[in-house]
Amino acid sequence: MIVSKEQIVADLRDQGHGEAADKVERDLPADVDTVKHADWLKDLDFREEAFKLSGEYYSK
């Protein structure tokens, strides 16, 4: 699944994880492949299912 970096950053900031959001902005591409970056996102407690349910993602 491909998720917009902006959506991940917004989700993290909404959860009060400003430092993690800053790290995402610095280190990940604009289109984040959740498979390719799975280990990286796991450290952030990224909730892929939340994006699937809300429709706030896109796939290429």
Query: Per residue in 7-35, pLDDT tens?
Result: 888 888 888 889 989 999 999 999 999 88
Q: Could you tell me the residue range of the domain that residue 47 belongs to?
A: 2-54
What are the helix and strand counts (H, E) for the chain?
A: 4, 2
- Asked whether residue 59 is domain-assigned, the answer is no
Question: How far is Cα 50 from Cα 56, in angstroms, rounded to an integer?
Answer: 8
- Asked whether residue 34 is domain-assigned, the answer is yes
- Asked whether residue 40 is domain-assigned, the answer is yes
Say whether pLDDT at 56 is over 70. Answer: no
- Asked whether residue 60 is domain-assigned, the answer is no
Domain total of the chain:
1
**Model's pTM, two decimal places?**
0.73
Residue 4 or 41, more confident: 4
Is there a contact between 2 and 31 (Cβ–Cβ < 8 Å)?
A: yes
Greatest Cα pair distance, the chain, in angstroms, is 29
